[in-house]
Amino acid sequence: MTRLFFTLIAFGISYSSSPLFAQTGCPEDQVVFLPEGNSVMVNLLDPDILGCLPDSSLFTISGATYTSGILKDNEVLLNLGDNEVDYFNCANFQAKVLENPTLLPDGTGVEYSIPFVLSNYPEGSTVDEVNQPIMICATMEHSYLGDLDIWVECPDGTEWKLHEFDPNDGVRRQLLGRGLEGTTTPDPASQYCWRVGAQNTFEEYILRFNVGDEEPMPAGDYAPEDPLSVIMGCEINGEWTLRFRDNIARDNGSVAAWSVGFTRPGMVACGYNIKVQREPVSIGAYTDLPGLSLAVTPNPFGNELVISTEAQKTEEADLTVYALSGREVFRQTVSLPAGERKLSFDATNWPVGIYFLRVQTEAGELVRKIVRR
Query: Domains of the chain by range and CATH?
Result: 5-90+271-278 (2.60.40), 95-261 (2.60.120), 292-372 (2.60.40.2550)
DSSP string, 273-317: EEEEEE----TTTT-SBTTEEEEESSSSB-SEEEEEEEESS-EEE
Residue by residue, pLDDT tens for the chain (373 residues) are 222 222 222 222 222 222 333 334 566 777 777 766 667 766 554 444 444 544 555 667 777 665 655 555 556 677 788 888 776 665 666 778 888 888 888 888 889 999 989 887 778 888 886 677 777 889 999 999 999 999 999 999 999 999 999 988 989 999 999 888 888 889 999 889 898 878 889 999 999 888 989 999 988 789 999 999 999 999 989 999 999 999 988 788 999 989 887 766 556 667 778 888 776 433 233 346 788 888 888 888 889 999 998 889 999 999 988 876 566 789 999 999 999 999 999 998 888 777 888 888 888 877 787 888 8
Side-chain-facing half-sphere of 30: CA atoms under 13 Å: 23
Query: By the 8 A CB rule, do 154 and 234 touch?
Result: yes
Contacts of 211 (CB under 8 A, 6+ apart): 174, 205, 217
* 304 burial type by CB count under 10 A (0-12 exposed, 13-18 middle, 19+ buried): exposed
Among candidate residues 158, 135, 161, the one with its CA nearest the CA of residue 148: 161
Q: What is the pLDDT of residues 323-338, one digit of tens each?
A: 765 667 899 999 999 9
DSSP state of 22: -
Among candidate residues 100, 116, 254, 260, the one with its CA nearest the CA of residue 190: 254
Q: What is the pLDDT of residues 114-156, one digit of tens each?
A: 998 988 777 888 888 667 777 788 999 999 999 999 999 999 9
Which helix (H) or strand (E) segment is 69 a member of? Answer: strand 67-70
